[in-house]
Amino acid sequence: MLRTALVALLVLHGLIHGLGVAKAFGWAEVSALTKTIGRPLGVVWGMAGALFVLAAVLLLMRSEKWWVVAAVALLCSQVLIALHWHDARFGTVANLLVLLAVIVGAASWNFKRHYTRAVDRTVEATAALPAHRITEADLVALPTCVQHYLRTAGVVGTLEPRNMRITFQGSIRSEGGPWMPFTTVQVNRFDVPARFFWMDATMKGLPTKGLHAYEDGHATMLIKLAGLVPVMNMKGPEMDTAETVTWFNDLCLFAPGALLDPRITWSAVEERSAQATFSNGGITIHATLLFDAQHRLVDFFSDDRYVVAPPAAPQKRRFSTPMRDHRTIDGRLVPGYGETIWQLPSGPFTYGRFTLRSIAYDVSF
């Protein structure tokens, strides 16, 4: 809704600047502008109006640089208003609203640069890694149910992934809170575990940006209202353990070819389940994978993930991610929908719903 209102404001404000053009070139009698406007200045009126409209188009196209064009338009507009203050002074109100939006847009862009820089660094590092094509021989040492899963997932004959880019649409909530819609994009690295997760969400009607970063065995989570005001900033050993579980969860569900990692220790539990142990940076986590009769991975749970929700102290709770709606993307069978669930003393609590939008391996952007 805020985006639509801003687009309307930019377009309307831009069109109003057309009055200055009409006055300068004598296209119409503009009684609202009593002062004479020369043609050179009329061109500036037209340029400011066109830039406002262009900023609106870029905003509709979800360009992250729309605010740069809007800022130039704003500067031109306010100079013109100052020159015709008696007639155009009320345009300052619209410019103040645009200025607020520009500040938010610039802050969000600057915040996201931390994500894009990390992604660029990850992609550059993984591009130099040797590629390994998965064969049946690579599956021999795995529990039978995991072998079946990898064959069903279609990884035999594909390259073992070095990185992964994945996007989701969904909603998230805190205990007792409302659902908050979001879109996310993340990049994971597998040889040296890393995960960079960017979230665009709406909280209480306001745009909210979030960055989860996991690298060198350490994790941080920073949430900013409008990309400007921090509302959550967390790090520490509990976050490090929690993100290790999350990274491993991503690997199991969406990058099955990476399960050949020799740092993973496997043990069969039952015919359709297996337990995995993974260590990174001095942190060891355990997880159980559950498969259905078609050998698809349908659930993952771990008792090593912390609920980190200040001001409450971090607590380990069972974390699970039931999945469904499997489909084939890029030759691999992956879940299309999943939920994130905490087992709390009061019972299961679903705090996240994720619908897969896209997935790609060994990205090079």
Lowest mean pLDDT among 157-161, 308-312, 351-355: 308-312
Does residue 31 surpass a pLDDT of 80? Answer: no
Which pLDDT score is estimated for 85?
85
What gap in Å lies between CA 279 and CA 277, rounded to an integer? Answer: 7
Per-residue confidence (pLDDT) for residue 1, from 0 to 100: 67
Domains of the chain: 2-105 (no CATH), 129-361 (2.50.20)
Helix H segments across the chain? 2-16, 18-25, 39-60, 66-83, 85-88, 91-127, 144-153, 237-254
Question: What's the mean pLDDT when you consider all of the chain?
Answer: 91
Residue 189: burial class (beta carbons within 10 Å; 0-12, 13-18, 19+): buried
Q: What is the pLDDT of residue 287?
A: 98
**For 119-175, how does the pLDDT look when each residue is reduced to its tens digit (9 = 90+)?**
999 999 999 899 899 999 999 999 999 999 999 999 999 999 999 999 999 999 988
